[in-house]
C-alpha cells in the first residue's frame, strides 16, 4: 500500500457456548491480525467469573501455552488493536474489563467515537474516574451509571448517547452482546459453530475455525447471546441514521477472502481495477501490482485492458514491526526492504503500477524510483480509489489534511512529485460501481470531506490525553 502510515484499526471476536473458547478466539484473532498489530487480548468466562490476558504485540507473541491455560470457560471475546484513539500502551489494550455494582463486564471495540470528549467531561463531572485514554472506556462507564441492572437493558438505553463508529462485543459472565452503530461504519459478522455462536469483524475468521456464516449484523443492531440463544434488538431509530459503511474497508483494510457489506472483498477490488482501466487507459507492456493490497485491482486492470499482468515486485514478508525507527530516511530504506523490483521483468518495459491508494506520497515516490533504477522505460501510476483529501474520524488513522498529498497538490503536481509518466485515480462513481450496493450505502468522507455525522471531538488521536 502506498498509503504511508495509514494504520489498520481493530479486529474483534466473540464466541459463546464452545469448548476451548480461548483457543478458538486465538485462532479468530490470528485471522484478524491484519486489522491491528499493536496489542491483543482475550477475556473468557466460566459462567460466573471473567478471566483476562492482554499485552502489546502480535497475537502469537501475546499468547503462550501457559497464558491459554489461565483462560478457562466456554465463552470469550477478543481484540487486536491499532490505536486510533489513545497511545499504544498495555493500559489501552483490549478487551477492557471492569467490576461495577452489578458485576463484571468486558468490552472490545472497533471504530472511533466522535463525541468522546463531551461524554467524558460529563461523566467525570458526575464522579466517573477513567483509567485509560481510549474512547472505548466510555461504553463501560455508561453501562455502570445506567439505572438498569441487566446488561442488555443497560446497553440498550445507554448506547443511544454515543456518536460515531462502533462495532462492539461486550461480555459479562452470562452473556455476550454484539452491537453495530446505526451508520454501520465497521463490519460485524455472525456465524454458527457446533451448538455455539461466533461474532467477528470479518468472515475470514470463520473460515479458519470452520464456523458457518449466518449473516452480517444490520446497522444499529444489538445481538444478545446467552443460554436462551441469540435475539436482536434495535436501540436506534432507523429513519434518523443514514447507512454509511466505510468504503475503504473494500479498498484496503479487509482481507480479500472476507465477505463484508454483502460483497466478497477480492471481487470488489477486481471490479475497481476493471473500472480503473476503463477510466484511465494507457499503452503499456505490463501491469504490475503493489503487493499485497494492489493484487486484485491489478488483476482487474489487466483483464479489462488486455495488457499482461506481471509480478514486478517481490515482497519480503519477514520485515519486523520494530526493525526501523520512523524517520523519513528510515521509511525510504523500509520500502526497499519490503519490496524489491525484479529487473528482468521490468527493464525496458512500459509499466502500469496499480496500488490501492496514495496518502502522503513519499512511499509511492520511493517505489517509482526503484522501478526507474530497475530500467522501466515508462511508469504509469494507477490508483484504485479517488484522491484522499480529508482525514477519517471513524476509526482509520489518516494523517491531517496538511499531510495529504491530494489536498495540497493537483493531479499534475502529484505526477511531477512522483516522477511518473502519468497518474490516474479511480473516480467516486467507478469505486461505488464496483460494489453491489452503490453509493448510497457508503461513507466516502476521506475522498469528499462530507461526513455523515457531526464531529464533536478535537481532531487528534491523543485527544483524551490532553483532557
Closest CA to 200 of 184, 185, 216: 216
Query: In terms of DSSP bridges, do strands 286-289 and 308-309 run parallel, antiparallel, or are they unpaired?
Result: parallel
Q: Count CB neighbours of 12 within 10 A.
A: 32
Helices (H), 374-435: 405-408, 411-418, 428-433
Q: What angle separates helix 151-158 from helix 137-144, to the nearest 10 degrees?
A: 110
Closest CA to 233 of 242, 225, 244, 224: 224
Closest CA to 170 of 95, 260, 265: 95
Cα 61 from Cα 353, distance rounded (Å): 35
Q: Could you tell me which residues come within 8 angstroms of residue 375 by beta carbon, excluding any fewer than 6 positions away? A: 343, 346, 347, 348
Phi, psi dihedrals of residue 176, rounded to the nearest 5°:
-120, 135
* Contact predicate 401/449, CB 8 Å: no
The grid coordinates listed for 310 are 506481471
Cα 376 from Cα 276, distance rounded (Å): 22
Is 189 a known active-site residue? no
Cα 341 from Cα 372, distance rounded (Å): 10
Cα 351 from Cα 379, distance rounded (Å): 5
Q: Could you tell me which residues come within 8 angstroms of residue 37 by beta carbon, excluding any fewer than 6 positions away? A: 8, 58, 80, 82, 321
CA distances 125 to 138, 329, 357, 455, Å, are: 14, 46, 43, 22
Q: What angle separates helix 328-338 from helix 362-373, to the nearest 10 degrees?
A: 50
Query: In a 3-state reduction of DSSP, which class is residue 3?
Result: coil
Query: In a 3-state reduction of DSSP, which class is residue 298?
Result: helix
* CA dihedral sign of residues 333, 335, 340, 343: negative
Cα 66 from Cα 203, distance rounded (Å): 29
Would you give the end-to-end CA distance of the chain in angstroms? 34
Which residue out of 10, 18, 43, 446 is catalytically annotated?
Answer: 10
The grid coordinates listed for 341 are 523490483
Active site residues: 10
Amino acid at each position: 500500500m502506498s498509503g504511508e502510515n495509514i494504520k489498520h484499526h481493530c479486529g474483534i471476536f466473540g464466541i459463546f457456548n464452545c469448548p476451548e473458547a480461548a483457543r478458538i478466539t486465538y485462532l479468530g484473532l490470528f485471522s484478524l491480525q491484519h486489522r491491528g498489530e499493536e496489542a491483543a487480548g482475550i477475556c473468557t468466562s466460566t459462567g460466573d467469573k471473567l478471566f483476562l490476558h492482554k499485552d502489546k504485540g502480535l497475537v502469537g507473541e501475546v499468547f503462550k501455552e501457559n497464558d491459554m491455560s489461565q483462560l478457562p470457560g466456554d465463552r470469550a471475546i477478543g481484540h487486536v488493536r491499532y490505536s486510533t484513539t489513545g497511545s499504544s500502551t498495555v493500559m489501552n489494550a483490549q478487551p477492557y474489563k471492569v467490576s461495577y455494582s452489578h458485576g463484571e463486564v468486558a468490552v472490545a471495540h472497533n471504530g472511533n467515537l466522535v463525541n468522546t470528549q463531551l461524554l467524558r467531561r460529563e461523566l467525570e463531572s458526575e464522579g466517573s474516574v477513567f483509567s485509560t485514554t481510549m474512547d472505548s472506556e466510555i461504553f463501560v462507564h455508561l453501562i455502570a451509571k445506567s439505572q438498569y441492572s441487566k446488561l442488555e437493558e443497560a446497553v440498550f438505553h445507554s448506547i443511544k448517547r454515543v456518536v460515531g463508529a462502533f462495532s462492539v462485543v461486550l461480555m459479562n459472565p452470562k452473556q455476550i452482546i454484539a452491537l453495530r452503530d446505526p451508520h454501520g461504519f465497521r463490519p460485524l459478522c455472525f456465524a454458527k459453530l457446533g451448538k455455539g455462536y461466533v461474532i467477528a469483524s470479518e468472515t475470514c475468521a470463520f473460515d479458519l475455525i470452520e464456523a458457518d456464516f449466518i449473516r452480517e449484523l444490520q446497522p444499529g443492531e444489538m445481538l444478545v447471546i446467552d443460554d436462551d440463544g441469540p435475539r436482536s434488538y434495535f436501540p436506534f431509530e432507523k429513519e434518523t441514521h443514514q447507512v454509511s459503511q466505510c468504503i475503504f474497508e473494500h479498498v484496503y483494510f479487509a482481507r480479500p477472502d472476507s465477505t463484508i457489506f454483502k460483497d466478497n472483498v477480492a471481487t470488489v477490488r477486481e471490479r475497481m481495477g476493471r473500472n480503473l482501466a476503463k477510466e484511465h487507459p494507457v499503452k503499456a507492456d505490463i501491469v504490475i501490482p503493489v503487493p499485497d493490497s494492489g493484487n486484485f485491482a491489478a488483476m482487474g486492470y489487466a483483464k479489462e485492458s488486455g495488457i499482461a499482468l506481471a509480478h514486478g515486485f517481490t515482497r519480503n514478508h519477514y520485515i519486523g514491526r520494530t526493525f526501523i525507527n520512523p524517520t523519513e530516511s528510515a521509511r525510504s530504506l523500509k520500502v526497499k526492504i519490503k519490496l524489491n523490483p525484479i529487473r528482468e521483468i521490468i527493464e525496458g518495459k512500459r509499466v502500469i503500477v496499480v496500488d490501492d491508494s496514495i496518502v502522503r506520497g513519499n512511499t509511492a515516490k520511493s517505489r517509482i524510483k526503484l522501478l526507474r533504477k530497475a530500467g522501466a522505460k515508462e511508469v504509469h501510476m494507477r490508483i484504485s480509489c479517488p484522491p484522499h483529501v480529508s482525514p477519517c474520524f471513524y476509526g482509520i488513522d489518516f494523517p491531517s489534511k496538511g499531510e495529504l498529498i491530494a489536498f495540497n497538490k493537483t493531479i499534475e503536481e502529484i505526477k511531477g512529485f512522483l516522477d511518473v509518466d502519468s497518474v490516474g485515480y479511480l473516480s467516486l462513481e467507478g469505486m461505488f460501481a464496483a460494489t453491489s450496493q452503490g453509493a448510497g450505502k457508503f461513507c466516502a468522507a476521506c475522498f469528499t470531506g462530507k461526513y455523515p455525522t457531526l464531529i464533536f471531538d478535537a481532531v487528534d488521536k491523543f485527544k483524551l490525553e490532553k483532557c
